[in-house]
Amino acid sequence: MPTRVLVPSGVLGLGFDVKALERGIAAKPDIICIDGGSTDSGPYYLGTGTSKYARDVCKAEWRHLMQARAVADVPLVIGSCGTCGTNSAVDWMYDITVELAKELGQTLSVARLYADQSPHQIANAFDAGRVTPLMPAPDIDADDIRGFSNIVALAGAEAITAALASGADIILAGRTTDTAVISALPIENGDHAGAAWHGAKIAECGAFCSTNPGSGVILVEFDESGFTVEAMAKDAICTPHSVSAHMLYENVDPYILYEPGGHLDVTGATYTAESNRRVRVEGSAWIPSDTYTVKLEAAKIAGYQTTMMAIIRDAHYVKNSSVWIERLTRFLHDKIADCTDLGSDDYSLEFRLIGVNAALGVLENRQPSADAMPVEVGVLLIITATDQMIATDLSKLINPFLLHYPLSEQEDLPTFAFPYSPAHSDRGALYEFALNHVLTLDAPMDAFTLKLSQIAEVADD
């Protein structure tokens, strides 16, 4: 049967048009789905099991969604709670939900879908050949896995379906694929499987598939042959171009998308404008796989960091900033060898010239011409060491030279600028992603745990 899925935004914490959300609720959706996760800002959040989005912002947006759910009287689902989808992030979102239920006077059943994996069990699965690499994947062994700080599995649509079957008003899911939360109910309702996955991919980032991405809210209607997508903001329009283009977003192949249990193929999809706001899509296909696999994500500590920054404005130094950095780096390595017992494996120094190569570092192949040099260049130094004390002490050793080191021995000592004091900032642990693998399961729920709680209405004190 047809299924209407309302997607308020690409992620909780990004914001949405509240009036557009009201129009979406007026369209009588069968479910409200939103993603809460992101890897865009790197592995720190998975490594620490914390959110990159502010709690107050998430609570304010979740309040709107809980109120909308109560009006529509449909399930509200969030996937990949708290950026990383660890158990701690799910419980963080649960605490927010309990607070809001009390403030709003709502009585709720809440399902928590946990996705954390035991490093010991994943190590055993690795030895048993049930953990296989994707490309590119780091070279690891079972002992490495036992040392990872957090491991999560990305749940598929079947896990969300199991949570929906509990009858929960709100589902707080750990790490899921972006599409699983949206595709689950249309698949359960018997809508076209290819359309369910394709529409979920198009809707995963809310109004990113429209002409006004910042408005957030879209509605997708799934049925037996395809799906129709419409932006809910008055100034946002879905076109065949804007909708089809979203298959390129965060996807290495614009026609194929791999998910737990199979893959989506949109090679034969057609995109037709139904009006000046709605786009109809048909012809996408879902191809089930022989085995059921879920992607694994993990993080591990890769060192401890301290950063420093200096600003150079002298035109002679700005023009020759790369040469200056090369000479300074050689000097600092010699100085560290003379003054400490540190070996080359105990630390690293990484300079980024802001205005020259800050984004790509040594990979930057475009250099500004002499007449197009910036007025000033920021010099960012990232010190990485095996512990924080070493990184901090190295910054203090380097401090006077980052401020005064000359371009050549025949020049006066320059003086640059530190934008803050102290000149160094300790960053603590550095995390890196440690897995790009899939885990083979005998059944879709084997890696996940479901917990159902009742939140009774409580009068505010």
Q: What is the DSSP string of 187-214?
A: HHTT--HHHHHHHHHHHTTGGGGSS-GG
Q: Per-residue pLDDT tens for 379-413?
A: 999 999 999 999 999 999 999 999 999 999 999 99
Whole-angstrom Cα distance, residue 191 to residue 220? 12
Task: Note the pTM of the prediction, 2 decimals.
Answer: 0.93
Taking the alpha carbons at both ends of the chain, their separation in whole angstroms is: 45
Number of domains in the chain: 2
Which pair of structure tokens corresponds to residue 61?
């947006």
Buried/exposed code over 372-409 (b: 16+ C-beta within 10 A; e: otherwise): ebeebbbbebbbbbeebebbbbbbeebbeebbebebee
- For residue 135, is it within any domain? no
pLDDT of 365 reads: 87
The answer on 188 and 336 residing in a single domain is: no
pLDDT of 367 reads: 77
The answer on 158 and 229 residing in a single domain is: yes
The answer on 202 and 111 residing in a single domain is: yes
The answer on 307 and 227 residing in a single domain is: no
Whole-angstrom Cα distance, residue 49 to residue 212? 32
Q: Per-residue pLDDT tens for 40-88?
A: 899 999 999 999 999 999 999 999 999 999 999 999 999 999 999 999 9
DSSP single-letter state for residue 116: B
The answer on 54 and 188 residing in a single domain is: yes
The answer on 329 and 250 residing in a single domain is: no
> Looking at residue 308, which CATH number applies to its domain?
3.30.70.1120
Which pair of structure tokens corresponds to residue 384?
């990485």
pLDDT of 76 reads: 98
Q: What are the pLDDT tens digits along the chain (461 aa)? A: 799 999 999 999 999 999 999 999 999 999 999 999 989 899 999 999 999 999 999 999 999 999 999 999 999 999 999 999 999 999 999 999 999 999 999 999 999 999 999 999 999 999 999 999 998 899 999 999 999 989 999 999 999 999 999 999 999 999 999 999 999 999 999 999 999 999 999 999 999 999 999 999 999 999 999 999 999 999 999 999 999 999 999 888 999 999 999 999 999 999 999 998 999 999 999 999 999 999 999 999 999 999 999 999 999 999 999 999 999 999 999 999 999 999 999 999 999 999 988 998 888 888 777 777 889 999 999 999 999 999 999 999 999 999 999 999 999 999 999 999 999 999 999 999 999 999 999 999 999 999 999 998 654 44
> Hey, CA dihedral for 174, 178, 180, 183, is it positive or negative?
positive
**How far is CA 343 from each of CA 336, 337, 350, 390, 429, rounded to the nearest angstrom?**
9, 7, 16, 12, 20
- 122: amino acid identity, one letter: I
**How far is CA 449 from each of CA 92, 155, 159, 444, rounded to the nearest angstrom?**
17, 11, 9, 11
Whole-angstrom Cα distance, residue 318 to residue 328? 14
- 428: amino acid identity, one letter: G
Residue 279 dihedral angles phi and psi, to the nearest 5°: -125, 130
The answer on 386 and 348 residing in a single domain is: yes
> Are the C-beta atoms of residues 437 and 133 closer than 8 Å to each other?
yes
- For residue 83, is it within any domain? yes
- For residue 339, is it within any domain? yes
The answer on 314 and 258 residing in a single domain is: no
- Which of these, 442, 403, 444, lies nearest to 424 by C-alpha position? 403
181 burial via Cβ count (<10 Å: 0-12, 13-18, 19+): buried
Helix (H/G/I), strand (E/B), else coil: 453: strand
Whole-angstrom Cα distance, residue 46 to residue 432? 9
pLDDT of 458 reads: 55
- For residue 128, is it within any domain? no
- For residue 218, is it within any domain? yes
The answer on 314 and 265 residing in a single domain is: no
**Residues contacting 284, CB < 8 A, separation 6+:** 192, 194, 195, 197, 198, 226, 264, 265, 266, 268, 269
The answer on 88 and 32 residing in a single domain is: yes
The answer on 307 and 257 residing in a single domain is: no
- For residue 141, is it within any domain? no
Q: For residue 65, give its domain range.
A: 3-115+154-292+441-455
Plot region of 361 (φ>0 → left; ψ -120 to 50 → alpha; else → beta): left
The answer on 213 and 102 residing in a single domain is: yes
- For residue 268, is it within any domain? yes
pLDDT of 417 reads: 95
Which pair of structure tokens corresponds to residue 277?
């706001």
- For residue 137, is it within any domain? no
